[in-house]
Structure 1
Amino acid sequence: MTAMNSFKHMHDWRENIDRFFGESFWGEFDSILKPNIPQVNIFRKDYEILCVINIPGIRQIKQIDCSVDGYNLHIKGEIYIKSSGYELVQEEIIQGSFNRTIELPYKCRDDKVSARYEHGLVYIHLYKNVHESNKSTSIKIKEGEK
């Protein structure tokens, strides 16, 4: 059995489950079945946080929208891998639109943020907020090295 036939059988199986349990059955499992995209690593030291976000295939930085407010980093955009004229046989690099909120280990400043995109990774440098502020700030991502 080819891989594509396996995927078709998997789709048929899911449709049968939907008919039996109802379409909302899968909604409860979405967070388990769907991996978070984009993938994120968070590092911290003293009063600083470094978020490294895996976003391949970006042609223009303006494709990524990023902001920070308090304990949350918001990032949205689209991962698109060009493959004109080819049929997808195996997909491990997840593509499509994403909109993710990443919970940070502590409240971050909205006035001292830097970000850059380099080799498929977004590096966002944040600082712990020791003062009270509840506003949201958009983050401009630069291209290249520091």
Structure 2
Amino acid sequence: MDPFQQMNDWKNNMDQFFGEKFWDQFEGIIKPNIPQVNVYQTEHELLCIVNVPGLVKLEKIDIYVDYTTLELRGVIDIAHGGGTVVKEEILQGAFERSIALPFPVRSDKIKATYKHGLVYIQLHRLISDSSRKNRINVRLLEDE
């Protein structure tokens, strides 16, 4: 019997027993997320730093922002030819990642730059007209 078929059967049995969402809890352990992302928050801004080594053509990475979601797609390709791999810890290959943002962001004020293997994405909080602070004028009531 094919060992991969046995593993697939085992996974299907686990899905039936624990439910299909069972494996989601182990995704970062079994298969680490690529690319790695750090998100830093201030009151009105987010800075997302994405680890994408070996990016030569900036068109090879797609970045999408939609309200409270950052989506990343591309390929990490460390071009090295020849020799046998002895140790391989730098994850590479095609990636597609979706990151939930802590607050809605503006679609008209996004800046992305690349330097030393890192993509820096600056996002700004969306403040809708209905949630802005409006100063209320106080009128003096005259005695009538």
TM-score (norm. length: structure 1): 0.73
Aligned partner of 2:111 in structure 1 is 114
Bigger radius of gyration = 2
Q: Which amino acid aligns with 2:43?
A: D
Q: After superposition, where does 1:1-146 map in structure 2 within 5 Å?
A: 15=4, 18=7, 21-22=10-11, 28-29=22-23, 31=27, 32-131=29-128
Question: Does the 8 Å CA contact 1:18/1:25 hold for their aligned counterparts?
Answer: no
Whole-angstrom distance in 1 between the partners of 2:111 and 2:33: 23
What is the aligned length? 120
| Coordinate RMSD, CA, aligned | 2.4
Identity value in percent: 40
Q: 1:23 to 1:67 in 2, by over 3 A?
A: same
1:51-91 deviations in whole A, cap 9, x for unaligned?
00000011110000001001100110000011111222211
In 2 relative to 1, CA 73–24 (structure 1 residues): closer, same or farther, beyond 3 Å? farther
- Please report how far the alpha carbon of residue 15 of structure 1 lies from its aligned counterpart in structure 2 after TM superposition: 3.6
**Structure 1: any 5+ residue segments left out of the alignment?**
1-11, 133-146
Following the alignment from structure 1 to structure 2, what is the Cα–Cα distance between the partners of residues 131 and 44? Answer: 19
8 Å CA contact 1:58–1:120 kept in 2: the answer is yes
Greater Cα offset, 69-78 or 23-32: 23-32
TM-score (norm: length of structure 2): 0.74
Task: Please say which of residues 24-33 and 65-74 is displaced more in the overlay.
Answer: 24-33
Deviation of the 1:110 alpha carbon: 0.4
Mind listing any 5+ residue stretches in structure 2 that lack a counterpart?
130-144
Displaced runs of 4 or more, over 4 A: 22-28
Shift of 1:19: 6.0
